[in-house]
A and B are shown apart, each in its own frame.
Chain A
Amino acid sequence: MHASQARLAAAANCPPERHLAFAGLLGGLVATPALPVTWSLVAEGVILLGIVLVVRWDRRRTGMFINGYRSGRTRPVSFGMLAVFLVLYSASIWLARERGIHWAPLPLGVIAAGAGYYASILWQRVFRREMGVGA
């Protein structure tokens, strides 16, 4: 059972471009309030489509899909990242729409992308350890 989990962890190994794709989608979502409302909705639609494409890419590349919010040791990483995302996204909307600082979502998007990249690598490391494979 442990051997098959170790093989699973090896198969689930993400290339750097997969971490970058996740980071880009997260950063993009936080940065969308920099655009006028109509265009920000269009951009959010494109990003949602990007999420669908990343899921499809995962399935094609690995022959499986692992839910990021699965129960296990990776869950605190996922919920931690979700909390960071919600704070940054809320701040982005508030600064752009309420305070009129339209450029503010851009640096927040960069921060979100950085946090997303780090969280994606951390998630994989924790997953591999949970499956009994060294980080």
Chain B
Amino acid sequence: MSVPSLAFDPVIHPPARLQIMAVLATVQDAEFAMLRKTADISDSVLSKHLSALSEAGYVRLRKAAQDGRQRTWASITRAGRAAFRGHVAALQALAGVVEVATDEVSEPLPVRA
């Protein structure tokens, strides 16, 4: 059994970042509060993750006024979308390898006479 080379991205890999990227890959842009609610994390944790994703060039952040308050909006970049797709493909490939390995282990041993 060979394991294909997998394009895991350490920047995207933490579960909260995966959730953020999954949302941003679906929408055109999303507001900070919406992302916090969807990923079910605190303001400070989301802020750190968004900064890391932004520094990696995966997420674009912009400030916009709404109802008299400054709000942060995030959107995924082209590089971010490519990295996310690659990472999800790597996870799926790994899940496939694990599934095959589990099937092989659970096969009954041949009975010898």
Contact = CB atoms under 8 A, between A and B. Distances in A.
A135 interface: no
Nearest to A68: B28
Interface string A55-76: 0000110111111001010000
Interface residues of A, number: 18
Nearest to B19: A4
Contacts of B26: 5, 8, 66, 70, 72, 131
A1 B28 contact: no
B95 interface: no
Chain B interface category by residue count:
10 to 19
Contacts of A66: 26-28
Interface stretch (B3-11, B32-40, B48-56, B102-110): B32-40
A8 B66 contact: no
Given A4-B39, A7-B38, A63 B22 contact: no
A30 B80 CA distance: 39
B23 to A, nearest CB: 5
B30 interface: yes
In order of increasing CB-CB distance, the 7 nearest A-B pairs are: A63-B34, A63-B31, A4-B19, A64-B30, A64-B27, A1-B22, A67-B28
Given A64-B34, A66-B28, 9 more contacts: A3-B19, A4-B19, A5-B23, A59-B66, A60-B66, A60-B67, A63-B34, A65-B27, A65-B28
26 contacts: A1-B18, A1-B19, A1-B22, A4-B19, A4-B22, A4-B38, A5-B26, A7-B38, A7-B40, A8-B27, A11-B34, A11-B37, A11-B38, A63-B30, A63-B34, A63-B37, A64-B27, A64-B30, A65-B27, A66-B26, A66-B27, A66-B28, A67-B27, A70-B26, A70-B28, A72-B26
